[in-house]
A and B are shown apart, each in its own frame.
Chain A
Amino acid sequence: MTSKRTFAQLAFLGAALVLIACNGRTIVAPDFETNLDFGSLGGQIRVDGSSTVFPISEAVAEEFSYVSRTRVNVGFSGTGGGFEKFCRGETQVSNASRPIKDSELEACRKNGIDDVLEIQVAIDALTVLVNPENDWVQCLTVDETHQLFSAGGAERWNDVRPDWPDKKISRYYPGPDSGTFDYFNETIIEAVEGATHTAEGTPSEDDNILAIGVQEDRYAIGYFGFAYFLGSGASMKAVAIDNGNGCVEPSFETALNGSYAPLSRPLFIYTRESFMAERPEMLGFIEFYIKSMDVLVPDVGYITMPEADKLAQLAKIEPYLQAASVAD
């Protein structure tokens, strides 16, 4: 048992080291049918916005550069900052980790941008996991989750609920420079004014190290990206989250339908209908984006949308694709 586990870890680490060493991507977008002549696409596209969506857009931009001559620059000034630039007409695509607000749409409209097109690209989610032998935690409210991971919050399990064990909480969480940490910090910790994330416990950029911590420590609690939980995290015990509407187990379905809140959220890119009609390189980029999501989204650690939802996104640009083929 132990040697098998060790071997798996070594294999993973080896693969990780190779990836770090190359600092390159090994996964490429799939072949697909298109009406557009990608090789003839030129021009320049500016993308900015959410740092959460950044890795997806960055991956798509890189793959797109292999099939076209369009230059795509991707920045990350945050969802709000991205919309500000987008509504001033400085960018053509805006990454967003939440839907656009009415106030932002209004700002766009003032600048004559009244044809905003929303495309969902992935789902981001987190899972709170505890040791398999933990028999007291089944479900946590958002407030309890906050206490468990905020600085100056709970120290021992019975600080959260008096009938829980009088034992120190061992915390395992992703490195503070990761998107997973940012997401948890934003939605759970900083949702309370002035609160900060605890620095106690073990942070690690390596999910497998965190997993060993949670698996071997009875009084452990940790949180992971959803993709890790769906894969190798199944040997730990997932905690249901109560956002005021009862306990919801984390699962593919609850993450997709949004009931697993606030730890799941859709990720979007925004662009303009007129770009789709008038700028072939923009249409090509968005088509390429949607059609390569299946490969690139899981590669950067997010959840791919179901096929039907993906087709719904594609349907939004379908008329423009048809028009492009007629024009040829």
Chain B
Amino acid sequence: MTVRGTDTEKLRAELKGRRFKHPGEFVIIFVLTACAAATVLTTAAIIFTLFGETFTFFKDVSIFTFFDPRGEWQALIDPRDYAVIELVAGTANVVFWSMVFALPLGLGAAIWLSEYASSRSRRIVKPMLEVLTGVPTVVYAFFALTFVTQDVLRPLLGAETVPIFNSLAASLLLAVMIIPTIASISEDAMANVPQGLREAAYGLGATRLEVASKVIFPAALSGIIASVLLAVARVIGETMIVAVAAGSTPNLSLWPLDTVQTMTGYMLQVGLGDAARGTPDYDSLFAVGSTLFVMTFALNVAAGMIVSRFREEYE
């Protein structure tokens, strides 16, 4: 058989018609297909379970109660109310404040690594930054509660103003958790901007800051946005830090010194309790889970659209 050029379509068509020389080849293809199918099936099963139980939940609770913007989330104590807005607000609270801290720090670190650091210091600093992603989040969680809240925030701002469980301590540690993600992926995106662009800008007399902010940053924007949305998705889904440090009081508040409960925090609380299967208490777990899933899914779709919208091709 001869392969003409690198026309992959033709090559594929040719291979398709060909019979396997070894039966082993068939086994390998079968195993690899099974691997791919396993992940797809798992996803399908999760979605099926999630939405199935959510459907059961909405048999007991009206969908208008669930999405009532003026209601309260009081799912486990009579008189019951199931307005998910309070849990969504809790999640929004920690997402907002963690981004306030993580965006400048993460992007600043990325710009420094990509444009200012010598290759030697980059080789040392970048792996150190990435080590942070390996810290189990439960460690961050207790660090937030015992050190950040008790030894920093309360002595600094006063025990009267800082409740023991507060969104700020959780947000600070969530920021620490995602800074490596933002910095590392953004730095990759900036480093991948063709060297020619950089040299052309310097050739026109631009300063380092101008090159970084007016040339490299816009050119790498799609990668940077992707890193930020990935970080947001991690914050939304993070459970341990918020459950331990932010408290478990549903609260329609974006103020960082309030006790809040996020969607994941609520799910953990119900999961640890003795809620009996088939009760609204138990099913509410899946309703909140579905909401979380839809939000993260929408975020991923949005990320895909934004990334392709801002992609700069240099070829």
Binding site for B on A (CB under 8 A): 2, 5-6, 9-10, 13, 17, 20, 151, 170, 175-179, 196-206, 209, 212-213, 216-218
Contacts and interface: CB of A to CB of B under 8 A. Distances in A.
Contacts of B142: 6, 9-10, 13
Nearest to B147: A2
Interface of B: 72, 74, 76-79, 138-139, 142-143, 145-147, 150-151, 154, 159, 163-165, 244, 247-249, 259, 269-270, 272-275, 281
Q: Which 6 A-B pairs have the closest CB atoms?
A: A177-B273, A176-B76, A205-B272, A177-B275, A175-B273, A199-B74
Contacts of A216: 150, 154, 159, 164
Given A2-B150, A213-B165, 7 more contacts: A2-B146, A10-B138, A202-B248, A202-B249, A202-B259, A203-B76, A203-B269
Contact of A196 (B79, B159, B165): B79
Contacts, number: 77
A178 B72 CA distance: 22
Contacts of B281: 176-177
Contacts of A205: 269, 272-273
Contacts of B138: 10, 13, 17
Contacts of B259: 202
A290 to B, nearest CB: 25
Given A2-B146, A2-B150, A5-B146, A212 B272 contact: no
Q: Chain A interface secondary structure, helix, strand, loop or mixed? A: mixed
Nearest to B250: A199
Contacts of A206: 272
Contacts of B79: 196
Contact of A203 (B145, B146, B151, B248): B248
Most buried by B among A17, A204, A213, A217: A204
Contact of A217 (B143, B163, B244): B163
A176 B250 CA distance: 14
A10 B275 CA distance: 26
B274 A201 contact: no
Contacts of A204: 248, 269
Contact of A212 (B151, B164, B275): B164
Contacts of A200: 249
Contact of B163 (A2, A10, A170, A197): A170
A203 B275 CA distance: 14
B171 to A, nearest CB: 18
B284 to A, nearest CB: 11
A13 B243 CA distance: 13
Contact of B272 (A20, A151, A198): A20
